[in-house]
Amino acid sequence: MRPDQRETRLLETAERLVRSSPADETEVLLAEGRAMLTRFSANRIHQNVGAEEAWAVVRVVAGKRIGVATASSLRAEALDAAREAALAIARASEPSADWPGLPGPQPAKAVDAWDEATAEATADRRADLAGAIIASARAKRCEAAGAVRTDDGSLVVVNSRGVAAAGSQTQATVHAVATREDGAGYAEGVSTRIGEVDAGEIGRRAALKAVRSRQPRAVEPGRYDVVLEPAAVAEWLEYLAWMAFSGKALEEGRSPLSGRMGEKVTGEAVTIWDNGLDCRTIPQAFDYEGMPKRRITLIEDGMAKAVATNYAVARRLGKWRSTGHGLPATSAGECLPLHLFLKGGRSSARRLVAEMKRGLVVTRFHYTNILDPMKTVLTGMTRDGTFLVEDGEIVAPVRNLRYTENVLEALGRMDGASRRLVLVRGPYVVPTVRIRGVQFTGTTEF
């Protein structure tokens, strides 16, 4: 089914549910789509699965009492039951004294987020991409594991104040881990268009890291200058979004930016923004309340400038309109930036390493956890390619290390970034960066 046809059907379904609602205010979010996945391991495809999914979130308001219910089917009886359940919840709830009402309609800019080839990608097409990764791994006598995934979906939001937003998008995601003996390497690719994903190159990068990371040596914990590749940078930004960039967290005083808006919170080299309309990410025209997305600068030259809001949080913070970052009503009013960008620099990834006297190159992190959200302290492990640099040259792979670091402070010590920005899973668009004195607190045996 063409995306416009699916959007029309979903809009008609949502509008029927809103019109027939006895509540004072009603909001209906409907989503429908497919996720198709091909997994491979030990240089063989071992799983090919797919799912067609549909879900609904119904929010109703009776006076100032709010109820939310969900459905995993878009059949009329399931949606009617969800609406009635939401109404029962609202009537049994305490009133929300500061409820500003549902938002009214605002025009959203059109985005180009649909690719027919991605939506119609077959198992054979995904197998070809997996095969290209496997071929690259075999060329380096490595084994490859990972996945090729294609998604297509449509989202509509309709409410009783006249909001009627609809949009569709596709996404192709490829990630691979190559191994050889005790070495491992990781690479990934993301795009709205499957034709833009170079699986052979992804496999080559992962395999090259695996070859180079064999027989890792131990290094002592301590502070090291570090070059973080895009996957590692994106992991820090993802956690920073949860800790610092939520408008709800700001108003509740649990954001490290609370009381610090307009103040310097990190280094002048750091500018972070969110822009769901940018074609370099996976574009999305509106949020889960149907409010148009727009570019917002969160940190500019190290200074806290803004946070993401939904409609209710924006009104409580004295703003007239949402920034377009509302999550589904099931999220208890949370609002987050989902399309983060980090400003690049004037260097190249190679030069960032060449200018380093002694330090580490980190491919990515895993097992990341929040230790202190008010101080943006994270801990986690390096993974799939960590290398020691001496006098501007990578001299050896090293065993994985545990880091414990205040992310805002660490970004404040950033002294270089690549010109090239890369789209990685998130979706985030980020450079490779160099940071002075990242704290590593433990070692491993692998």
Q: What is the DSSP string of 219-264?
A: --SEEEEEEEPHHHHHHHHHHHHHHHSBHHHHHTT-STTTT-TTSB
Per-residue pLDDT of the chain (446 residues; tens, 9 = 90+): 689 999 999 999 999 999 999 999 999 999 999 999 999 999 999 999 999 999 999 999 999 999 999 999 999 999 999 999 999 999 999 999 999 999 999 999 999 999 999 999 999 999 999 999 999 999 999 999 999 999 999 999 999 999 999 999 999 999 999 999 999 999 999 999 999 999 999 999 999 999 999 999 999 999 999 999 999 999 999 999 999 999 999 999 999 999 999 999 999 999 999 999 999 999 999 999 999 999 999 999 999 999 999 999 999 999 989 999 999 999 999 999 999 999 999 999 999 999 999 999 999 999 999 999 999 999 999 999 999 999 999 999 999 999 999 999 999 999 999 999 999 999 999 999 999 999 999 998 88
Q: Please give the pLDDT value at position 236.
A: 98
Q: Measured between alpha carbons, how far is 393 from 400 in angstroms, rounded to an integer?
A: 19
Q: Where are the domains of the chain?
A: 3-202, 218-446
User: Is the whole-model pTM more than 0.75?
Assistant: yes
3-state SS, residue 218: coil
Q: Using an 8 Å Cβ cutoff, are 231 and 190 in contact?
A: no
Q: Is 425 exposed, middle or buried (0-12, 13-18, 19+ CB in 10 A)?
A: middle
Is the domain spanning 3-202 CATH 3.30.2270.10? The answer is no
Count of alpha carbons within 13 angstroms of residue 360, beta-carbon side: 31
- Closest residue by Cα to residue 185 from 314, 364, 35, 312: 364
Strands 422-424 and 414-417, bridge-based pairing: unpaired
At 235, which amino acid appears? E
Length of the chain: 446
Backbone region of residue 301 per phi and psi (left: phi > 0; alpha: psi in -120 to 50; beta: other values): left
Phi, psi of 88 (to 5 degrees): -65, -40
**Rounded-to-integer distance, Cα 234 and Cα 433, Å:** 11
